[in-house]
Amino acid sequence: MRVLTRLAAITAATATALSVAVAAPATAATELVVNGTFSTSTAPWWNSSNTSMAVDTGRLRVNVTGGTANPWDAMVAQNNINLTSGKAYTLSFDAVASASVSAVTTVQLADSPYTNTLTKTIALTTTSKRFSFPFTSSLSTAAGQVSFQLGKNAAHTVHLDNVSLTETTSGSGSGPINMTSGFYVDPNSNPAVWARNNSGDSRAARIQSSIGSKPMARWFGSWSGDIASAVSGFVGAADSADKLPILVAYNIPGRDACGGHSGGGAGTEAAYKTWISAFASGIGNRPAVVVIEPDSLGDFDCMSESARQERIRMLTYATEQFRDKAANTWAYLDAGNAGWTAPATMASRLQSVGVANVRGFSVNVSNYYTTSQSTTYANAINSALGGTAKFVIDTSRNGNGSNGEWCNPAGRKLGATTQVGGGAEMLLWVKVPGDSDGNCGIAPNVPAGTFSPDIAVRLIDGT
């Protein structure tokens, strides 16, 4: 796993391809754990009595004896961890057990008095899960220890992998991100899959070249299955390629209240909170860009007061989860588009849901307003916020601007993805080009979120 330094600059390699560059080589954040991937050996990890350990298919397998009285009676650990009091760190790891058991992970002094600066009780199951725990050290020592305490359970086996302890900057959106080699190209995006499965179609090569081979966001919702695993798998693939993934969280109850074509979402407030917490945990300490719930603040005008208050609670909780569980994620609350909500009103809504907890906000998601119009709108919002937020713009379909229609309008075109002035941090393809807005416009029989090669070719040609 790579934890990468701050994004320095964005330049365009082509009119439609995202390319990220830095002015000078970036310095990766220092990894404090040695051999957290267990690729060939267990050293320098050690195990206590009541356990045995070995490398098993690139993971650490720990066999735990049952019947012990305390969690620390059966443990694996690594010593000689350097910590500085007052500095922020994140401990993260993957873990799975042969049965549902409770365990304790700590960052502490290796010797008496074993002072803890982080102690977390974790629930392990037969499904692998990514855990990530930001904390501020209360210790200054070269004799720190990362431990996994597995006792006080029946006999079981635990597999650990990708154990990482790095110094971070607390708060989602202020952690380090670097991409010297660009954004992640999703090989399983809707246009890429369509082109791969329809190679004999005369449109396939053009769609793959102009759309499927470009970086764009992966949208996650109820269709994603186990959300922590789905997110972790996507972010992990990007991290392995040393590229920056773009994700969209799209599962809030009452979704698309004004448009109606993309309705759905988690069934209850409690279900959504569970889902978004798992989403953030799935990213953990790895770098990512996340757009939080497109349309969710613009939809306020189509919702009852009680529904608005419920949504405020859910979005606030979402920003807190990304802040606390995904320190190296740049998260952006969606702020609608230039033709929807007045900037001062949108700024007030952003403040009410904790925009200060994340990096900033996004504009023009799934819409068509030009980059210039979107920048003007976003700058007005940011001015009302006191100039404290960053913003990104969705340029996936704004090459010909807006004709006033939002649902599969004709004559739209793929947008450019070069960095612009006026405060815009990144231009991103957030909406997947070729995915329908709903049963409307030039695709009256294509449901929302479904890929249409006809829409895709129209966006390539601008027709």
Known catalytic residues are: 295
What is the number of residues in the chain? Answer: 463
Which residue's structure tokens are 């154990």? 163
Break the chain down into helix, strand, coil percent, rounded to 5.
25, 30, 45
Report how far residue 8's alpha carbon sits from residue 389's, in angstroms, rounded to the nearest whole number.
Answer: 17
Other beta carbons less than 10 A from residue 41's beta carbon: 11
Cβ count near 196 (within 10 Å): 13
Residue with tokens 């529904």: 307
Q: Which amino acid is at 82?
A: N
What is the rounded CA–CA span in Å between residue 176 and residue 163?
18
Say whether 54 sits in a helix, a strand or coil: strand
- For 278, the enclosing helix (H) or strand (E) is helix 269-283
- In angstroms, the Cα distances linking 302 to 114, 254, 305, 364, 375 are 56, 10, 10, 19, 25
Residues near 145 by Cβ (< 8 Å), separated by ≥ 6? 77, 78, 79, 81, 106, 107, 108, 109, 110
The count of other CB atoms within 10 Å of the CB of residue 40 is 9
| Tokens coding 140 | 């200054």
Would the CA dihedral through 260, 266, 270, 273 be positive or negative? negative
- As a whole number of angstroms, the distance between CA 353 and CA 320 comes to 10
How many other CB atoms are there within 10 angstroms of residue 39's CB atom? Answer: 10
Q: Of the candidates 222, 312, 223, 314, which has an alpha carbon nearest to the alpha carbon of residue 277? A: 314
Residue in this structure with the two tokens 């129209």, named with its chain if needed = 458
- Segment (H or E) for 2: none
How far is Cα 263 from Cα 12, in angstroms, rounded to an integer? Answer: 35
Rg of the chain over all Cα atoms, to the nearest angstrom: 23
Kindly tell me the burial class for residue 187, based on how many C-beta atoms sit within 10 Å of its own C-beta (0-12, 13-18, 19 or more): exposed
CB–CB of 252/311 below 8 Å?
yes
